[in-house]
Amino acid sequence: MCKVSWMALWVAWCGMLAVLPAEQTAKPAQGPSSRVPTIDQSLEWQSAFNPKISPDGKRVVYEVQKTNWEENAFERNLWIGDVASGETHALTTAKKSSTNPEWSPDGKWIAFLSDRPAQIAGTPEGKKQLYVISSEGGEAQQVTKVENDVSDFAWAPDSKRIAFSMTDPETKAMKDRKEKYGDYSMVHGDYQMTHLWTVEFSSGSPGAAEPKRLTEGDQFSVGDFSWSADGTRIAFSAQRDPDLISLGTADLYVISVNDKAVKKMVSTPGPDRNPHWSPDGKKIAFETAAGSQFFFYTDRRIGVVPSDAGAVQILTESFDEDPSLVGWGPDGIYFAAAQKTASHLFRLNPENGAIEKLSAPEEMVASGFSFSQDYKTAAYRAALDNQYGEIYTTSVTPWRARKLTAMGEQLKGFTLAHREVVSWKSGDGTTIEGVLYTPPDFDVRKKYPLLVVIHGGPTGTDQPVLNADRYYPIERFVAKGALALRPNYRGSAGYGEKFRSLNVRNLGIGDYADVISGVDSLIAKGVVDKDRVGAMGWSEGGYISAYVTTFSDRFRAVSVGAGISDWTTYYVNTDITPFTRQYLHATPWDDPEIYWKTSPISNLAKAQTPTLIQHGENDRRVPIPNAYELRQALEDRGVPVKMTVYKGFGHGITKPKQQRAVMEENEKWFGQYIWGEKPEERKPAEPKKDEKKSTAAVNP
C-alpha cells in the first residue's frame, strides 16, 4: 500500500556532464534469433543490487539475484569487482541467500547476513546470522548464533566490533503461557521489541562470539543506527513498539557503548530516523517529518542536531522532494532523491544549506549509493532509458561513470518493448506523466489495444528503464500487438509535495481521472483502439483498478491485485491505519461519507467490467476481506469475476512459482477479453530441466 519503511532509490549530476557508456544499453539481437521472453525467462533474469565500495575505493561488493526453481526462491549471493580492471567474481556460493554486505573500516573483511546452513551446532535453522569473510575470499566465518534473525548491523570504526539489531526472543513468561493456554496473541500487545547488541570479531576464533546487549526493555523498539567516528557512541532511531501504526512515534537517541546510558536527542511529531554522524562527531544528521502530522505525503526533511542534544536545524526546507540520507562526508551531507522519472545524488552544505546535484546524466535512474572513506569515489546501481540496471563506479567530482557489471548481456536476443516518457493533461488541468511501451515495429497509423499498468504506493514511480516483468507479462502483451501505459498518477513520488497531495481526500477520484485522461490522450492521437482497453495493478494500483471496474464502462477487462475495495473494511483490518487517516483526513467514524465516496464498492451498481482478483491469503497491508467483498459484490451483480488466493503469502507474492501463476493468470485473462482467446484451464507446469539446479550467475 505505502512504501514500506520509505525505501528510496535516488541519484544525480555534478559539474562535468558525463554520460553513461553507450555499450551498457541492452540491444536485443535482430532477425530470426529475436524472440519474446517467456514468463519463466523473465522470472529468471538475474539482477545486481546493493553495491558497497571498499574504504580505499578500489573494489566493490554487491548482490546478484538468481532464481532457484527447485527451492522455489529468489536467492542472492555476493560478488566482488575490481574498479581498475573491471574483473568480477563470486565471493559467496553457499545455499540460501547472502545479503547486506558491509566492509570493515580497515578494508580487510566483509560482513553480511545469511540464512545458509549454519557452521555452528545449535544455531536456529533458517535464521539470518551474521557472517564475516576475508575481502580476499575464502571460507566465511559465522559470528552470531542468535535465536531470531539479525535485522541490521554496522561495523565499529576499530573493525573489531559489530553492532547489530535483533527482535527479542520469546520470554519465559510467554513460553509458559503458551504451555498452559495454547497459542494466542493480544492485539496491540505481546510485543517483542527490537534491540541493539554488540559482538566482538576476531579472525579465526572458533565458534560464535557471545553478544553483549546494549538496549533492553519495553519502552521502545530500535530501528536504524550508526556509530560515532570514535566508536564510543551509537545513534539510533526507535519507536514505542514494533507496530507499523506506531512509525510516527520514531525518535532519535544516542547510547554510550561503555555504560549503556541512553539519551533522547530528538522528539518531534512524525518519524525521526536514519541518523548519520558528522566526521568530527559533534552533530548528527537525520531524516525527519519536521512535525508534519501528514508525513505519508508531505516532504521529508534533513535535520541536524548537536550530538550532546540541543535545537534541531532543518536544512532542506526548500528542497521539494523526499531526501534519503546516504552519509556525511568531509565536504558535506549526501542524500538521494527522485526527480520525476529519474533519481539522483545530491550534496548538502550543512553550513549554508546550499544543495548541488552530483550525478549524471539527467535521465538516469540510480540507487544504492556508497562511498569510499574519503568520499572521492562512489558505487551505485543505475540505468538510462531502455537499459537494464548495472553496477557503476565513479569519481564523485567530476562524475565519470564506469560500468562494472554486464547484466544486460542476458537480454540479448530478446525483442523487447520500447519505453518513453509521455505526458498529458488530466481533467483538472494537472500535467501527468507516464511511461508508454510500444513494439519495435510501432506504426502511428495503426490502432492498438491498450493495457494500463498502474503502480502501487501511491508514492511509487514508473520509470522508462528495463526490468524483469513481475505479476504482469508486459513484454508479452506488447509482443502480441498492444501498447502499455504506466501512469505516474497524482500522489506519485518525484514530482514534489503539492503533486503528492493532490489525491488527499480525493483518492480514486483524482487517480482515475489521471488514468482515463491518459487513455483518452492516446485515443485522440489515433493509436489506440478504444474498444480494446484493459487495466491492472497491485496494491494502490489494485485499488485504482477496482475503481476502474466499478466507475467506468470504458475498459474491456480489469485485474485487481491486492487492491482496496472499501476503505472502511481496509481501515479496520490493515496493519497501517495511519495511512488512511492521513490521506482522508478522518476516520470512518468521523466522516463516513469520504470513506464511502472514495471506495470502489460505492459505485457497484454501474459495474460491468470482467474482473480478475488476485490476493495473498495472509495480506496484512491490504487484508483479504477487501478481495472477498469485491468478488461477492461483482458476482451478485452478474459481472464476470474470477478470484485467485495465493496461500501463505502476504501483500507481495514473493516466490517464483507463484509469480509464474500470477503472470499466467493475467496473460490468460487479458488474452480472453482483449484478444478474444478461448479461456483454458491451467495445466500443471512440467518441471524444467533447469529446475533441477540453481541457475548460475551471469558473469558481469
Cell of 332: 558535506
Q: Decide if 662 is inside a domain.
A: yes
Q: Distance (Å, rounded) from C-alpha 297 to C-alpha 450?
A: 30
> In this structure, are 368 and 457 located in the same domain?
no
Q: Decide if 391 is inside a domain.
A: yes
**C-beta of residue 154 within 8 angstroms of C-beta of residue 227:** yes
Predicted confidence band at 679 (pLDDT cuts at 50, 70, 90)? confident
> In this structure, are 159 and 252 located in the same domain?
yes
Q: Decide if 696 is inside a domain.
A: no
Place of cell 512524525: 270
> In this structure, are 403 and 467 located in the same domain?
no
Q: Decide if 154 is inside a domain.
A: yes
> In this structure, are 218 and 239 located in the same domain?
yes
Mean pLDDT within 69-93? 97
> In this structure, are 366 and 433 located in the same domain?
no
> In this structure, are 404 and 426 located in the same domain?
no
Nearest to 362 by CA among 384, 377, 379, 392: 384
Q: In what order do the strands lie in the sheet with 611-616?
A: 418-425, 431-438, 483-488, 448-454, 528-538, 557-561, 611-616, 641-646
Mean pLDDT within 35-51? 96
pTM greater than 0.85 (yes/no) = yes
* Kind and range of the H or E run holding 690: none
List Cβ neighbours of 636 (8 Å cut-off, separation of 6 or more). none
The reported pLDDT for the residue numbered 28 is 36
| CB-CB neighbours of 3 under 10 Å | 15
> In this structure, are 392 and 421 located in the same domain?
no
Helices (H), 427-508: 474-479, 497-500
Q: Distance (Å, rounded) from C-alpha 604 to C-alpha 638?
A: 11
Residues constituting the chain: 700
7 has a pLDDT exceeding 90? no
Predicted confidence band at 20 (pLDDT cuts at 50, 70, 90)? very low
The DSSP call for residue 283 is E
Predicted confidence band at 537 (pLDDT cuts at 50, 70, 90)? very high
The CATH code of the domain that includes 293 is: 2.120.10.30
Q: Distance (Å, rounded) from C-alpha 603 to C-alpha 547?
A: 9
* Domain termination site, one of 410, 427, 454: 410
Q: Decide if 690 is inside a domain.
A: no
610-649 pLDDT per residue, tens:
999 999 999 999 999 999 999 999 999 999 999 999 999 9
Q: Mean pLDDT over all residues of the chain?
A: 92
696 has a pLDDT exceeding 90? no
Q: Distance (Å, rounded) from C-alpha 559 to C-alpha 539?
A: 11
Q: Decide if 545 is inside a domain.
A: yes
Predicted confidence band at 209 (pLDDT cuts at 50, 70, 90)? confident
| CB-CB neighbours of 22 under 10 Å | 9
Identify the weakest region by mean pLDDT among 8-17, 140-149, 365-374.
Answer: 8-17
Q: Distance (Å, rounded) from C-alpha 76 to C-alpha 99?
A: 7
SS3 174: helix
E runs forming strands in 331-474: 332-339, 342-348, 355-357, 365-371, 377-383, 390-395, 402-403, 418-425, 431-438, 448-454
> In this structure, are 609 and 669 located in the same domain?
yes
CA 359 from centre of chain: 21
| CB-CB neighbours of 21 under 10 Å | 12
Q: How many domains does the chain divide into?
A: 2
> In this structure, are 17 and 65 located in the same domain?
yes
Q: Distance (Å, rounded) from C-alpha 381 to C-alpha 404?
A: 10
The reported pLDDT for the residue numbered 244 is 93
Q: Decide if 254 is inside a domain.
A: yes
300-340 pLDDT per residue, tens:
999 999 999 899 999 999 999 999 999 999 999 999 999 99
> In this structure, are 511 and 620 located in the same domain?
yes
**C-beta of residue 237 within 8 angstroms of C-beta of residue 250:** yes
The reported pLDDT for the residue numbered 25 is 34
Nearest to 65 by CA among 89, 42, 48: 48
* Domain termination site, one of 410, 428, 459: 410
Identify the weakest region by mean pLDDT among 116-120, 442-446, 535-539.
Answer: 116-120
**C-beta of residue 2 within 8 angstroms of C-beta of residue 296:** yes
* Kind and range of the H or E run holding 439: none
Predicted confidence band at 683 (pLDDT cuts at 50, 70, 90)? low
The CATH code of the domain that includes 506 is: 3.40.50.1820
Helix axes 509-524, 540-551, angle to 10 degrees: 70
Q: Distance (Å, rounded) from C-alpha 640 to C-alpha 634?
A: 7
The reported pLDDT for the residue numbered 206 is 61
The reported pLDDT for the residue numbered 119 is 87
> In this structure, are 147 and 11 located in the same domain?
yes
Torsion of CA 130, 136, 139, 140, to 10 degrees: 0
List Cβ neighbours of 178 (8 Å cut-off, separation of 6 or more). none
* Domain termination site, one of 388, 410, 432: 410
> In this structure, are 159 and 101 located in the same domain?
yes
221-249 pLDDT per residue, tens:
999 999 999 999 999 999 999 999 999 99
Q: Decide if 173 is inside a domain.
A: no
Q: Distance (Å, rounded) from C-alpha 108 to C-alpha 119?
A: 22
Q: Which amino acid is at 592?
A: P
Q: In what order do the strands lie in the sheet with 73-82?
A: 47-53, 59-68, 73-82, 88-90
Nearest to 542 by CA among 671, 452, 419: 452
The reported pLDDT for the residue numbered 593 is 98
Q: 649: domain range? A: 417-674
SS3 166: strand
